[in-house]
A and B are shown apart, each in its own frame.
Chain A
Amino acid sequence: MKLAIAGKGGSGKTTVAGTMARLAAARGVEVLAIDADLNPNLAFVLGMRPEALDRVSPLPDDLLRHRLVDGRDVLELVTPAEELVSTYGVDCLDRVRLLLMGRPHQAGVG
């Protein structure tokens, strides 16, 4: 099951996403949380400290390549998805695995 959570800044989108991820994990479901927001905050909801977040590597930008399929431009992964999850995923509260999409993350400080 792949679920996307959207919502205006301040709507509580990230809190809902993170809480839902933790509650599902607490039920024994294996959960992969992906932070695709430009301003990644999901890690904090999942219990990560800012110092720890600064050490997490986001997915590298160059893992996608363009390819034409039936005349359509399709992006595909250079590295298998499972390998990316095991290399770049980090464990958070309730064993939720977190993946940061590849963008320079604005830590603001340090």
Chain B
Amino acid sequence: MLRELHEEGTLVVVDMEASPEHLARSTAEAVEEMLVVAEPWFRSLETARRSVVLAAGLGIPRVRVVANKLRDAGDRDAVEAFCARHGMDLIGAVPYDEALADAERAGAATPDRAAPSARAIDLLLDRVLDPAAQRSSS
């Protein structure tokens, strides 16, 4: 289905199952990039590492890690060190955000774009959509 969608200028965002294990090769072939979201804990990062390996094995051209719910510089250092050690490409970091946690508890829409988490995700979007970066990866 993804492969057959050819809408120029459209951004297709697929919220996947937790792990690319269940990703059909046909779906993987249609995807240009996969972001793997990880929390700054060892087990979450280890799961992310396995997902990155699987996604790359499925032939997804670009696989990057989003560090999420970072509370301090220590969290950030831990994620950066883990990614560097395992050759994982870190696209950016999203801080822990109380406004976001509130929205999640309430099952409500994401907070407005002034929220710290939204500003960080907007930066990720710059990197995802950056045509120069896309060219250099291919």
A residues with a Cβ closer than 8 A to B are 1-24, 26-27, 29-38, 40-42, 44-47, 50, 59, 63-64, 74-77, 80-82, 84-85, 93
- Interface contact A4-B11, CB-CB below 8 Å: no
- Interface contact B18-A13, CB-CB below 8 Å: yes
Query: For the complex, would chain B's binding face be called helix, strand, loop or mixed by DSSP majority?
Result: mixed
Interchain pairs with CB closer than 8 A, number: 197
- Interface contact A4-B34, CB-CB below 8 Å: yes
- Interface contact A11-B32, CB-CB below 8 Å: no
- Closest A residue to B39 by CB, please name it: A11
- Interface contact B11-A29, CB-CB below 8 Å: yes
- Interface contact B16-A31, CB-CB below 8 Å: no
Q: A37-B16, A75-B26 are in contact. Are A4 and B35 (CB under 8 A)?
A: yes
| Residues in A neighbouring B83, C-beta threshold 8 A | none
The smallest C-beta distance from A95 to any residue of chain B, in angstroms, reads 12
Contact of B109 among A16, A44, A80 (CB under 8 A): A44
- Interface contact A1-B39, CB-CB below 8 Å: no
6 contacts between A and B (CB under 8 A): A4-B16, A5-B14, A8-B38, A23-B122, A34-B14, A82-B7
Contact of A5 among B1, B13, B94, B109 (CB under 8 A): B13
- Interface contact A24-B11, CB-CB below 8 Å: yes
- Closest B residue to A8 by CB, please name it: B47
- Interface contact B35-A12, CB-CB below 8 Å: no
Question: CA of A3 to CA of B121 in the docked complex: distance in angstroms?
Answer: 14
The smallest C-beta distance from A71 to any residue of chain B, in angstroms, reads 14
In this complex, the member of B1, B32, B38, B51 whose beta carbon has the largest number of chain A beta carbons within 10 angstroms is: B1
| Residues in B neighbouring A44, C-beta threshold 8 A | 107-109
